[in-house]
Amino acid sequence: MTTFDWSEAKPLLAATPGVLTAWLRDLPSPWLDADEGAGTWNVRTVLGHLIEGELHDWLPRVRHVLQHGEALPFPPFDRFSQLRREPRSLAQMLAEFATFRLQSLAGFEALRLGPADFARTSRHPEFGVVTLGQHLATWVVHDQSHLTQVARVMAKRYAAAVGPWQAYLRVLRPL
């Protein structure tokens, strides 16, 4: 079993805004607006969700664990709050995400936490008792999950266009 290691996690978390910026900044709107059908997210919605996570989930919950432990459950995180935000340009959203992620990483570093701190516990409103290390590992995997989602949503835009090659393109297959 792999345990959470901040020295391994930090470079991956730091890279996500640059990956998204390099990947998305010059794409035409059809790529950014593609989705997987009614009730699914497009690239802009995913990016908005990542921004909301920086503002209301990752570092705020780290601080919550340190301050309250199991005495007070995490406040719920609204996974759909980005749907109620004012629309912004893609460039603005990419810049916001990069800025907020940098602030989150700097804020975390300032806490000077070590491996013993990652065993500290809190109470999640849905999952019950969780460790700080689990929360931090989830931050990393959450990024990877949404990078995968972005790839999948954009790939599905050409699902019919690839014709018979669909059989070899795993990104086009149902989960």
Q: What is the pLDDT of residue 161?
A: 97
Q: How many C-beta neighbours within 10 Å does residue 150 have? A: 22
d(CA 89, CA 96): 11
- For 128, the enclosing helix (H) or strand (E) is strand 128-131
Q: What does the radius of gyration of the chain's CA atoms come to, in whole angstroms? A: 18
- For 101, the enclosing helix (H) or strand (E) is helix 90-110
Q: What is the pLDDT of residue 64?
A: 93
d(CA 22, CA 75): 34
d(CA 64, CA 140): 19
Per-residue pLDDT of the chain (175 residues; tens, 9 = 90+): 678 999 999 999 999 999 999 999 999 999 999 998 888 889 999 999 999 999 999 999 999 999 999 988 888 776 656 656 777 899 999 999 999 999 999 999 999 999 999 999 999 988 999 999 999 999 999 999 999 999 999 999 999 999 999 999 999 987 6
- Please identify, in words, the CATH class of the domain defined by 6-172: mainly alpha
On whether the pTM is more than 0.95, the answer is: no
Domain ranges of the chain: 6-172
